Chain A
Amino acid sequence: MNTSSARLPLLILGGALLLALGPLVLPPFYVRVGQLMLYSAGLGVAWAILGGFAGYGSFGHAAFIGVGAFTAGLVENQFPTLAPALLLLLGLAAGAGACAVISALVAYPILRLRGTFFAIAMLGVCHVCAEVNNNVDFFQGSMGINFAPIAPASMDPAVFFYWLYLAASTIVLLIAWAIWRSRFGAGLLSIREDEDTARMLGVPTERYKRQAFVISAVLTGLLGVIYAHALGYITTDSVYRDDTNLSLIVFSLLGGMGTLFGPVIGAFLLVFVTQVILGRLLDFHLFATGLLLVLLVLMAPGGVIGLVRGWRLRRRSEMVPAE
């Protein structure tokens, strides 16, 4: 099915409904792996709105996980008597708001940079946020911040957060799809292909980039809020993580850079490999992960989607009768 097809949301919702059955049939370990897959997929798609669609690959998106998570924690702790559902909504609103404001402020100067300069500058933004979070008492980054339990008492928290991640990631994917098939999405793709030409042709490149940046940051922040709740207690080190920054890029690389479903496939694949296949290795799991990634990128530079597309093209050309 074409990615721009209007029937795609139905397919996404159908897939989500199928995945929602997971906790009913899977053992608890796989429910937790599923949580990580869905969380990673959501983050990967949120990152791809800027990095994949517009070609502005960020090395520092974990900044928004941290900003979202800590803002939610600080705000929620002011209302300890609030009902769990309201508490979560409040946290999501606060986290999203903080990410929107910070990303809008950062967007102006940082989006003047391109390519590796932008990527490294974003890494700097992430580290600055982490340092501020750690060093300013108000944010409680070094001491850590607690989150009240929000899962219903009758439900296994692992299942509750699985469904929460699933809902959030589905929404992120639907938003990404809506962007993909819109005029705005076409503008982002034109920026990725040739920003100067796009601007010359009348695409409001600066505005589009800023909007993509803020949307990407807000969605990342929302997932950060859920992640913090799932952990229950976070410090700066829990959320401002360089390995997360790198993983977000790897998801798109593995699945297919600049595609809608590439980050989802990449996230599912990487989490499965690192958690299920290599999880039992004590000493060399990171080496094995690195080796596997290098092999995959060398053998499939267009990611899994690129591999499938190449295979389909070859098959089609074989089916054309020779003259």
Chain B
Amino acid sequence: MRRRDVLRGAAAAAVIVPSPAIRSAYAQTAKTLVIGGSVPLTGAAAETGLNVNNGYITAATYLNDVLGGVEIAGEKYRIELKLFDDASDPARATTLIQRQLDDGTDFFLGSFGSNIVLPTAAITERAKKPMVQTGGGADAIFTRGFKYVFGMFPRATRQFASAAALFKTLKPTPQTYSVIYTNDAFSKTAGEGVRLACDAAGLQRLETYELPAKVTDVSSVLASIRSKTPDILVCVMHDQDSLLIARQMVATNTNVKLLFQGLGPQLASFREALGKYSDGLCCSTYWDESVPYKDKFFGDSKKFADYYRSKFTRPIAYHVAGAAACIETYVMAMQAAKSIKPESVRDALAAANFETFYARIKFTPEGDGDALLLGGMIGQVQKGKLETVYPAEARSAEAIYPTPTWDKKA
């Protein structure tokens, strides 16, 4: 026998012989609960995809390593995540999901981006396997009659419902609003949601302004706002564009009773950049580590954030929390169903009403998040600090309305 053959045989034996022993020892400790999915770790959606991935890992690691697994129907389970990089490519994501289905995976987490979530959800739906996801908000995901797909956000056109609900509670009641959005998927969808929610709340829309995807100057829009001033100006766009608008409003002394900026004021850097002018600005806060919700696993949001920081150096974002809540939601649904059968877990998800560190989890019959419970809270900058002003159960301060004019903030 040649030396090469001996080495080859020894290597094969090393791989094969201990395997049954390892498997049997492992089986005695805890059962494994496999949750699959794809995430965009590369490509166009990678920036947020990494947050989603980290959120999934944080929750699974905590449940396994800190709590020693989760108990479902009297059995101890360790969560095994099988996540693959879909490279922001919907076609690749569908093959990855199909492979996991073929391998026998029963539960799925979502990717990021509606254009990836929807084709993959169509596959898991057909296989009657649940998918809980935090990355797809397009209405199309929730209007196709899917029964096994659940989202941690309301569908896109309902995401402004909680802000509109706040507007109705303000005194004196605002009568008019205008909305500004930029020409990109996120902003445009949000703008449509603002129009639907505010119109439904009985506010009169004065103007809708659509800006280019890359905003450099809004002086003409502000001139129009000064000549036709709404009570509330809603800007739904990325934080750097929100900052530009706020700065130009200060520079041109363009005042409204309330300036609502979808993204921006929730960031400390944004508030520092605007200084005292940031006071009174409102924004949506889907999650913040100061939210008061209690959680049966992590305890609360602060503890979740601390644990996350002990594992990752990447700054925490609400997508991290949303992703971690997906796994918690699965576990609580399984505990409620006392089963890990996909159909039973699906029914428990549909009936979910769980409190987590992220929010109270409740889905609509179509599977998207409840518009008020999962529609985000409303924050307002007061004395440089972001206070939660809506909903009532999470409120840390009363909303200030009308807000002082820019020259009074100076």
Residues of A at the B interface (CB closer than 8 Å) are: 27-29, 31-33, 36, 39, 134-135, 142-144, 146, 156-158, 227, 230-238, 241, 243, 274-275, 279-283, 285-286
Contact = CB atoms under 8 A, between A and B. Distances in A.
Contacts of B212: 135
B138 A280 contact: no
Interface stretch (B36-44, B252-260, B272-280): B36-44
Nearest to B187: A142
Interface in B238-286: none
By secondary structure, the B interface counts as helix
A28 B102 contact: yes
Interface in B112-127: 113-115, 118-119, 122-123, 126
A135 B183 contact: yes
B133 interface: no
Interface in B43-81: 43-45
Contacts of B98: 28-29, 31-32, 158
29 contacts: A27-B102, A28-B101, A31-B98, A36-B91, A36-B95, A39-B91, A134-B183, A134-B184, A142-B188, A143-B189, A143-B192, A144-B114, A144-B140, A158-B123, A230-B119, A231-B91, A231-B118, A232-B118, A232-B119, A233-B138, A237-B44, A237-B45, A237-B88, A243-B43, A279-B84, A279-B95, A280-B84, A282-B41, A282-B84
A185 B90 CA distance: 35
A233 B89 contact: no
A142 B41 contact: no
A254 to B, nearest CB: 18
B389 interface: no
Interface in B88-117: 88-92, 94-96, 98-99, 101-102, 113-115
B115 A237 contact: yes
Nearest to A39: B91
Given A237-B113, A282-B41, A283-B41, A142 B184 contact: yes
B336 interface: no
B87 A243 contact: yes
Nearest to B184: A142
Given A143-B189, A282-B84, A275 B115 contact: no
B185 interface: yes
B96 A279 contact: yes
Candidate in B85, B123, B212 with the most chain A CB atoms within 10 angstroms: B85
B115 A144 contact: yes
Nearest to A142: B185
Given A227-B91, A279-B92, A281-B85, 11 more contacts: A29-B95, A143-B185, A144-B114, A144-B140, A231-B90, A234-B90, A235-B113, A237-B88, A238-B115, A243-B43, A282-B85
